[in-house]
Amino acid sequence: MKNKQKLIKFEQKIYSKSLKIEIDNQIENSMKEEQLQTLKIISQNNEGLMPQKNKLIKSELEPIGLYNLSLEKSINIQTIKSWIEIYLGLEVKILNLQLALYYEKNDFYIYDIDHNQTYKLEKDDKDIINVLSIFKVMIRVKPKNIQSFIVIVDQDIYDPYQPEANILGRAGNQKVCVVQVQTELNDFYSTIVHELLHTLGFGHCKDQDCLMYANISTSMQLCQKHLQKLSSKKEVEELKRYKALLHISKQIGFHNECQKLEKLIKKVETQKDTLLQII
């Protein structure tokens, strides 16, 4: 009798355990299905988000477009390209646009060879070109795979909103800027990066020793505030950047600027040494 009772209890225990296992399996399977469904939803959402993410990253890495629209003067476009890349730390692409600036019957024109399109530029009675009329053409021909577009011209330009101002360059809408060739190389190369920085969202600076000063700056370098802003767009290794700028400045012939850069390099190196000693 006792053995029979034990057997019944044992069978009940087995049944109970089997039932529990079955229930656990059902719960587990149900949870797995829910997890799989959740993962599927996340995956679908990610697929929808990924193109936007990639597009954003791609946009951040798009190069700066550079084009020489000079009519008469010869310029070293490769040196300008190197200068911009070192200064901003961003890739620069010399654009292979088929454009020609020419002067005919007292008027300036831009001829788009690829599209057989001629654009008449506005000018004043002194044959100075309205920079806004150049903007209009450049916005039309600007490639889609660049973030900013800089055009070099060798003719005098003016801004109709500041007709009396002797401008060296201007940044306009759609991240396009125009810079006029200057015999003073410091002014020319400073203006190139100054106007490009405007297209990248940089405003003017109150510091006279900053390149982004509203008038002609006393320096070709950025103040610490604007240098940090540049670093936020693409990480800048300060010492490496200054050394590269010193190298190209020597090539171009920025003698005064070379002395300033040497001082900056020494200052950064001293700061690094001090930090290492503290650590």
pLDDT value at position 56?
30
- Give residues with Cβ within 8 angstroms of 107, minimum separation 6: 120, 121, 123
182-211 pLDDT, tens digit per residue, is: 999 999 999 999 999 999 999 999 999 999
DSSP code, position 121:
P
In a domain, 252, yes or no: no
- Residue 109: CATH number of its domain: 3.40.390.10
In a domain, 48, yes or no: no
* Average pLDDT, integer, range 125-138: 96
Give the position of tokens 């200068």. 83
Tokens of 100: 């020609």
Alpha-carbon gap, residue 78 to 66, rounded angstroms: 10
Alpha-carbon gap, residue 169 to 120, rounded angstroms: 20
In a domain, 41, yes or no: no
Give the position of tokens 């070379």. 258
With 90 as the cut, is the pLDDT of residue 53 above it?
Answer: no
pLDDT above 90 covers a percentage of the chain that reads: 66
In a domain, 169, yes or no: yes
211-254 pLDDT, tens digit per residue, is: 999 887 778 999 999 999 998 877 778 899 999 999 999 999 99
Using 50, 70 and 90 to split pLDDT, how confident is the model at 265? very high
In a domain, 50, yes or no: no
- Give residues with Cβ within 8 angstroms of 60, minimum separation 6: 233
pLDDT value at position 125?
92
pLDDT value at position 161?
93
In a domain, 45, yes or no: no
The count of domains in the chain is: 1
Backbone angles phi, psi at 85, to 5 degrees: -65, -40
pLDDT value at position 164?
86
54-83 pLDDT, tens digit per residue, is: 333 334 568 999 999 999 998 999 999 999
In a domain, 152, yes or no: yes
132-182 pLDDT, tens digit per residue, is: 999 999 999 999 999 999 999 999 999 999 988 889 999 998 999 999 999
Cβ atoms of residues 138 and 121 within 8 Å:
no
CA angle centred on 25, ends 19 and 27, rounded to 5°: 105
pTM of the model: 0.76
Alpha-carbon gap, residue 86 to 261, rounded angstroms: 14
- Among 145, 159, 236, smallest CA distance to 195 is for 159
In a domain, 159, yes or no: yes
Using 50, 70 and 90 to split pLDDT, how confident is the model at 11? very low
Alpha-carbon gap, residue 264 to 223, rounded angstroms: 12
97 is in which domain, residue-wise? 62-201
